[in-house]
Structures are given as C-alpha cells and as structure tokens.
C-alpha cells in the first residue's frame, strides 16, 4: 500500500471513530454535568497521552511549537468537547450531525489560511452555499431545534476546524499521535484539577451506558481517533483527506438512530446530502 492510500485509510479510521462521539456525548450528558464530562475526558486522555510520551521516550517540542499546541488544545481538547456537550443538552445528536457536515469545509478553510493557499472563486461559492443550507435548516427546525444548541454547535465547528488544521500542520514535524498527546499534556494541569472540582458529590445512580460513553469519548474521541486522523491529514493533505469527514454525518445519523432511537427525519438526510455536495464542490476548486 502506497503512502497516499495509507493516509486515506488512517483518515477513514479516524472519521469512523469520531462518528461515535456525538451519540456517546449525548448519552453521557444525560447523567454527567457537561463541564465535568469535558474536563474528565481531557484529563483521562491527558494521563494516557503523557504515559505514551514517557514510555516511548519522545523528545519535547521546540519552544516555537507551543503556540500551535495551545491552539490545538483550545480547539479540540477544550473547545469542541465543551461546546458540543453544552449543545447536546438542547438538541439531539441526530440534529447536531448536520453541523458536523461543515467540518470538512472549516478544516479546509483553516488549512488554506494557515498554509497560504488561494482557492478560486467557485470554492468560496460552494462554501457560502453549504453554510446557507445549514443556517436554513436550523431556522426551519423550530419544533425540535434550539437557537442555543445551534449556536453552540457552530462555535464547536469553528474551533474544531482550526484545531484539526493546526494539528495536521504540526504533525508533519512531530508526528500525529505525538501532537495530540502533547496538546493533552499541555492542558492537563488545568483540566485535571477542574475535573476534580466539577466531580459529582456521588456517582450513585450513574448507569453503565453513561460510564461506557465517558470511556468512549475519553479514550477514542479524545486520543485514539486523533492518532489516526492527524497522521492521515499530515500524510495525505489537510484539504484532501479532510473531505473524508463527509462520511461522518451519515455514520453518526445511523448510530443515533440505531443506538439512541432518535428520529432521523428526511429533512436531516436531505440537508446532509446537500452539504456534502457543497463541500465536494469546494474541494474540487480548493
């Protein structure tokens, strides 16, 4: 298998892992406070990431790399988990997957901004079209949607796209799993104490599904998924491999319907397909 195919395989595995994040978060926030969930998942992953760095004797990043690591930590360690956990108190995970359809676009845009590329005009036309579709869907879903949840999801997409692009750029120098591990370790002195502070007085009554969901978002969403994802982006290109995220809304919709019994409406599926078409067009002209 050549390097390009291997990069797409790594990216696909990462997307498959991430597709379970929102359904798992939805299960977890039903019984855990969103702040505790955000802090705990980062702290657990940070301990594991630090252990990997020590056991495999990885060198410390250069001083100039810490600015990028801070951006990554704020984007994917703190920002995206916190915003989605708060959003999923107001909207269903099925509804939130429509916004995930914008992640490839956000990742590509930040990849362009960080890399200095200059896409042609059609790229931006498709970008605006995709954003308009998502905004129109949010306005039309009056019965099941929440302005608060929608705005939180938009914020999550923005910070996540920045974290993905910055992480992919730095992964070319440090390596994929090293980047997310260092970002987690950098946030651990803050997230660890906050997790203890936000810890519930008692864990009595917390169901097994909630614990499984916490374990999933801590181990897979916060660490293992990034090992594959950043490596794929670094080897195959941010804009190119980033388009694999187009599969994530459909995977997440299936999981939300099968595992959570949530209603996956025809309008959600139609919007997802339309957003995919817009992002595919943007990729062609990137």
Rounded to an integer, the average pLDDT of 187-208 is 92
For residue range 31-49, list pLDDT tens digits in order.
Answer: 999 889 999 999 999 999 9
Token pair for residue 133?
């579709």
Give me the chain's average pLDDT, please: 84
Most confident of 21-30, 132-141, 204-213: 204-213
Global pTM reads 0.83
pLDDT above 70 for 67: yes
Q: Provide the pLDDT for residue 128.
A: 80
- The pLDDT confidence band at residue 30, using thresholds 50, 70 and 90, is confident
For residue range 82-122, list pLDDT tens digits in order.
Answer: 898 888 888 877 677 778 778 888 888 888 887 566 777 88
Question: Please, what sign has the CA dihedral across residues 251, 254, 22, 13?
Answer: negative
Determine what percent of the chain is predicted with pLDDT higher than 90.
35
Lowest mean pLDDT across 14-18, 191-195, 255-259: 255-259
Q: Which residue has the tokens 């078409």?
A: 277
Can you tell me whether residue 146 is helix, strand or coil? coil
Name the residue ranges covered by the structural domains of the chain.
3-284
Rounded to an integer, the average pLDDT of 53-81 is 91
Rounded to an integer, the average pLDDT of 215-236 is 91
Backbone angles phi, psi at 137, to 5 degrees: -65, -45
Q: Provide the pLDDT for residue 182.
A: 95
In whole angstroms, give the CA distance from residue 118 to residue 215: 41
**Residue pair 164/179 in contact by the 8 Å Cβ criterion:** no
pLDDT above 60 for 143: no
pLDDT above 70 for 262: no
Token pair for residue 1?
């298998």
Q: Provide the pLDDT for residue 163.
A: 92
**Residue pair 141/21 in contact by the 8 Å Cβ criterion:** no
In whole angstroms, give the CA distance from residue 75 to residue 270: 29
Q: Which residue has the tokens 């790399």?
A: 65
Ramachandran assignment for 205, one of left (phi > 0), alpha (psi -120 to 50 degrees), beta (any other): left
């Amino acid at each position: 298998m050549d390097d390009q195919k291997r990069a797409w395989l790594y990216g696909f595995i990462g997307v498959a892992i991430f597709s379970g994040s929102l359904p798992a978060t939805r299960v977890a926030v039903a019984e855990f406070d969103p702040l505790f969930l955000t802090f705990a998942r980062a702290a657990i992953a940070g301990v594991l990431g630090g252990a990997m760095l020590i056991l495999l004797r990885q060198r410390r990043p250069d001083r100039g790399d810490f600015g990028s690591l801070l951006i990554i930590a704020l984007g994917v360690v703190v920002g995206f988990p916190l915003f989605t956990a708060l959003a999923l108190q107001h909207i269903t995970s099925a509804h939130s997957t429509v916004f995930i359809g914008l992640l490839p676009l956000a990742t590509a845009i930040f990849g362009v901004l960080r890399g200095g590329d200059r896409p042609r005009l059609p790229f931006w036309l498709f970008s605006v079209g995709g954003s308009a579709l998502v905004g129109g869907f949010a306005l039309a879903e009056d019965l099941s949607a929440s302005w608060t949840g929608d705005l939180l999801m938009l914020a999550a997409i923005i910070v996540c796209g920045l974290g993905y692009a910055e992480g992919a750029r730095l992964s070319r120098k440090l390596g994929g799993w090293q980047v997310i591990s260092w970002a987690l370790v950098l946030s651990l002195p803050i997230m660890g104490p906050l997790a203890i502070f936000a810890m519930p007085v008692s864990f009595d009554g917390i169901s097994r599904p909630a614990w499984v969901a916490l374990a999933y978002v801590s181990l897979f969403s916060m660490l293992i998924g990034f090992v594959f994802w950043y490596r794929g982006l670094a080897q195959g290109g941010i804009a190119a491999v980033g388009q694999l995220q187009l599969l994530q809304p459909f995977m997440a919709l299936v999981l939300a319907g099968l595992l959570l019994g949530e209603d996956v409406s025809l309008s959600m599926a139609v919007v997802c397909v339309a957003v995919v078409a817009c992002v595919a067009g943007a990729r062609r002209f990137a």
